[in-house]
Amino acid sequence: MKRLSLEITASARRDLDCLHDYVARAAGVDVARRFVRSLGHHLSRLANSGAPGTNQDTLRPGLRLVMHGPYKLFFEQTNEALRLLRVIHGARNVSPDELEGAAG
């Protein structure tokens, strides 16, 4: 199976920055770094697995979801790339509006 490249959208980068800052305040910088690093390893494994996660077409056509701890990783897959669109806490209900514009 071909390894997909990993693309992180600007929206997902903002989510990751906010997540890092939140965990750093709540549990310390080292814990935040470990969590973000583990999330990065998880994304790398996903890029190798091809079509992972569950279909979320009701929110957006082609959207897929994988959980990482309490966080929802929303992404789409092309023939060449796995594109991370958003990282949102699992307790939140997500609307299609929150995913609009996340492709860039």
> Is this prediction's pTM over 0.85?
yes
| Whole-angstrom distance, CA of residue 49 vs CA of residue 45 | 6
- Helix axis angle, 29-49 relative to 10-27, nearest 10°? 140
All domains of the chain, ordered by start, with CATH?
5-99 (3.30.2310.20)
pLDDT for residue 101: 64
Region 90-100: what's the mean pLDDT?
A: 87
Residue pLDDT, tens place only, 31-51:
999 999 999 999 888 888 866
